Amino acid sequence: MAQALLQPWLETGLIEPEVVRAAVTREAAVADLSRRFQITVATDPAAAWAAPVVLLAVKPQHLDGVAAAAPAAAPGGLLISVLAGVTLARLQSLFPQWRCVRVVPNTPALVRHGLSGLSFAAAVPMAERDWVVQLFEAVGEVVPLPEAQLDAFLALTSSGPAFVALVAEAMADGAVAAGLPRALAGHLAHRTLAGTAALLHQQHLHPAQLKDMVSSPAGTTIAGLRQLERAGLRSALIEAVVAAAERSRELG
Say yes or no: 128 and 213 in one domain.
no
Q: Point out the domain boundary residue: 124, 146, 168.
A: 146
Would you say residue 37 lies in a domain? Answer: yes
Per-residue confidence (pLDDT) for residue 234, from 0 to 100: 96
pLDDT in tens, 86-96: 999 999 999 99
∠23-24-26 over CA atoms, to 5°?
150
125 & 180 share domain:
no
229 domain residue, yes or no: yes
- Reported as a pLDDT band with limits 50, 70 and 90, residue 4 is confident
Phi-psi region of 57 (alpha: psi -120 to 50; beta: other; left: phi over 0): beta
According to the model, what pLDDT value does residue 76 have? 83
- Say yes or no: 122 and 24 in one domain: yes
Residue 39 is assigned to a structural domain of this protein: yes
247 and 142 part of one domain = no
Question: How many angstroms separate the CA atoms of 112 and 133, rounded?
Answer: 14
Residues 165, 141 share a domain = no
pLDDT tens-place string over residues 149-182:
999 999 999 999 999 999 999 999 999 999 999 9
Dihedral (C-alpha) 78, 83, 89, 91: value to the nearest 10 degrees? -50
User: Total structural domains in the chain?
Assistant: 2
Rounded to the nearest 10°, the torsion over CA 30, 35, 36, 39 is 70
Q: What is the reported pLDDT for 123?
A: 93
| DSSP string across 83-137 | -TT--HHHHHHH-TTSEEEEEE--GGGGGT-EEEEEEE-TTS-HHHHHHHHHHHH
| Calpha distance 40→113 (Å, rounded) | 27
CATH number at residue 223: 1.10.3730.10
Please report the pLDDT score of residue 240 as a whole number.
98
User: Which domain, by its residues, includes 215?
Assistant: 160-251
Q: In terms of domains, do 117 and 169 share one?
A: no
**Residue 218 counted as domain residue:** yes
Co-location of 45 and 131 in the same domain? yes
pLDDT, position 49: 86
- Is residue 154 situated within a structural domain? no
Same domain, 116 and 218: no
Identify whether residues 136 and 164 lie together within a single domain: no
CATH value at residue 37: 3.40.50.720
